[in-house]
Structure 1
Amino acid sequence: MEFKILFSFLVLAMNPFLGHSQIKNFKEKFELPSEIKETSGLLLIDGKIITHNDRGDAANLYEIDSLSGNLLRTIRITNATNEDWEDLAEDENHIYIGDFGNNDGNRTNLRIYKILKSDFKNKTAVTAERISFGYEDQTNFSNQKNNHNFDAEALIVYNNELLIFTKNRQNLKTNVYKIPKESGGYAAKKISSANIGGLITGATHNKEDDSFFLCGYSTNSIPFLIYVSENRAPGDDLFSGGFLKISLQNELGQGSQIEGITNFNGGGNY
């Protein structure tokens, strides 16, 4: 993207069953530092914004002042490569980096890097554990550029597991897969699916009310949000209660490509 800008917004009175929502105080915060050429994942840790570049950069995380937008630190993952980093997630003790971008559908080395938060906060060079996985239902690994359902750009930690939301280029749905948080190799289990009519590029979980936001864009480049409320059946099927799709065309215009989203202070999001 030519412009790399961070926005914030508040969400009030979300009610998918009444079919409406209120997004308030949607505003530009700042332009991202020049080192951030293609921001993808977002986290907020200790009041600082954490992000990374998409494919092609070194294996770096960038820590940004949430008030000024100034780059504070660059943290290198010494035993990792950035083949196609797409999203960040966290739990109490770790940060997870999703290296699972799969534009052509033919990757057999999908992985998530896991680093200690204590190392991240105190060092500028850290080592990572590796979580490797493949999708349990993928059997075709030929080059299928822009015509398959096994790309992914969204990751969260939920119920002590990692959840991956796919970016389905073929059918414009998103599928949810889960894998353990521990290092090792796994077959990702499909647990939910929704016909969202677009391409999902990021996800965040609000622990205060157990809701989710996904971000993405349509095939005609209209950015949107997907809201999943806490009013759903118990269990793994996150979309059992439906979802609400919110266009951001008025706020961002057609052609904007959102790549990451993270929650702060309960009702706020970057």
Structure 2
Amino acid sequence: MNRLAPILLLLFVQACAQKPWYGDLKFEGKIPSSLSEVSGMVSTSPSTVWIIEDNGNKDHIYSLNLKGQLIKEFKVKNAKNNDWEDLAKDDQGNIYIGNFGNNHNDRKNLSIYKIPNPDLEPGNKIEAEKIAFYYPEQKKFPPKKSELLFDCEAFFYNNGFLYLITKNRTRPYTGKALIYKIPAVEGSYEAELVGGFLSCTNQKFCSVTAADISPDGKRVALLGSGYIWLFSNFSGEDFTKGTQRTIDVKHRTQQESICFLNNNTLLIADEQSQTKGRNLYSYSLD
């Protein structure tokens, strides 16, 4: 037994020293513990991203380097974090904050905040313009369980419009997401329904939690908890009419944020959930 003890100890130490399993995702860095609920992310340079947190957190936007380290933060003025769920950017570098989380499908104050390119702003506060909107198909707040289609955690900017992909909360769960568009201009709007998308029927993994469009406008990526739905070869505003590729990244965490770093590289972040998450990952599409 005494001879076996050192061997068993060595095997135990080696097992503990093994690297964590991230599936097909490449681990890039750990996000600070103060930012445990990252819900949206957008890349504005080859070396940094901007992130937000969701309901119950500050009305702030934060810059991280690609190792997950905090670089800078702004308080967003004239903006309330009712439930911030995603970030998007336009061709001029303006950033849009999706204040449209709607878990119970009962909100009547859905909005998006537009701020100037934070990479160019001094100080620690930044002014926001408000884009208010509503879904004309929603008649009751909340609707019946089979029509809980009006939560949203995902959007992107393209050609002057913001495209919103809703998060399905129906019971029984159908996996259907609606796609709406609204002008990316300060004001109040009726969202226009432009399409729909059926992910899959496992509510734990198939609800859309984030979205982005590639810098060249040729790919749209939607995120679930461990899945990426990638669309290409589309024309017009309904990107789901193009070629769809479903990617299983083989890593199941609460993945809430996705963005293109470049045309071929995606960045993904997950929330802290018990001992897992609060990481920044990359995924190569090549």
Category of TM-score, reference length = shorter chain: 0.7 to 0.9
In the other structure, the counterpart of 2:97 is 97
Whole-Å separation in 2 of the counterparts to 1:156 and 1:134: 17
TM-score, structure 2 as length reference: 0.77
TM-score, structure 1 as length reference: 0.82
- Give the superposition deviation at 1:143: 6.8
1:153·1:167 contact (CA, 8 Å) conserved in 2? yes
Residue 42 of structure 1 aligns with an amino acid whose one-letter code is M
Whole-Å separation in 2 of the counterparts to 1:74 and 1:33: 13
Structure with higher Rg: it is 2
Whole-Å separation in 1 of the counterparts to 2:59 and 2:220: 28
In terms of mean alpha carbon deviation, does 144-153 or 100-109 score higher?
144-153
Deviations 1:175-202 (A, max 9, x none): 1100001111111011011111220000
Deviations 1:16-52 (A, max 9, x none): xxxxxxx97x310111012212001111123211101
In the other structure, the counterpart of 1:225 is 228
Whole-Å separation in 2 of the counterparts to 1:148 and 1:237: 22
Whole-Å separation in 1 of the counterparts to 2:146 and 2:51: 25
2:40·2:86 contact (CA, 8 Å) conserved in 1? yes
Measured on the aligned residues, the alpha-carbon RMSD in Å equals: 2.1
In the other structure, the counterpart of 1:174 is 177
Deviations 1:164-223 (A, max 9, x none): 010112121111100001111111011011111220000111132611111013xxxxx2
Whole-Å separation in 2 of the counterparts to 1:56 and 1:161: 28
Query: Residues 95 and 208 (structure 1 numbering): CA distance in 2 closer, same or farther, change over 3 Å?
Result: same
Whole-Å separation in 2 of the counterparts to 1:210 and 1:148: 31
- Give the superposition deviation at 1:123: 2.9
Unmatched tracts of structure 2, length 5 or more: 1-21, 201-205, 268-286
In the other structure, the counterpart of 2:284 is none
Deviations 1:131-165 (A, max 9, x none): 00001211111376796000000010012101001
1:225·1:247 contact (CA, 8 Å) conserved in 2? yes
Match of 1:204 among 212, 215, 233: 212
Q: Percent identity?
A: 33
Residue 82 of structure 1 aligns with an amino acid whose one-letter code is N
Match of 1:258 among 242, 255, 259: 255
Residue 211 of structure 1 aligns with an amino acid whose one-letter code is R
Unmatched tracts of structure 1, length 5 or more: 1-8, 10-22, 218-222
2:215·2:260 contact (CA, 8 Å) conserved in 1? no
1:200·1:214 contact (CA, 8 Å) conserved in 2? yes
Residues matched between the structures, number: 236
Whole-Å separation in 2 of the counterparts to 1:185 and 1:209: 26
In the other structure, the counterpart of 2:264 is 267
Higher strand share: 1
2:59·2:81 contact (CA, 8 Å) conserved in 1? yes
1:43·1:262 contact (CA, 8 Å) conserved in 2? yes
Whole-Å separation in 2 of the counterparts to 1:143 and 1:205: 31
- Give the ranges of 4+ consecutive aligned residues of structure 1 lying more than 4 Å apart after TM superposition: 143-147
Query: Residues 52 and 120 (structure 1 numbering): CA distance in 2 closer, same or farther, change over 3 Å?
Result: farther
Query: Residues 99 and 120 (structure 1 numbering): CA distance in 2 closer, same or farther, change over 3 Å?
Result: farther
Secondary structure, counterpart of 1:49 in structure 2:
strand
In the other structure, the counterpart of 1:241 is 242
In the other structure, the counterpart of 2:7 is none
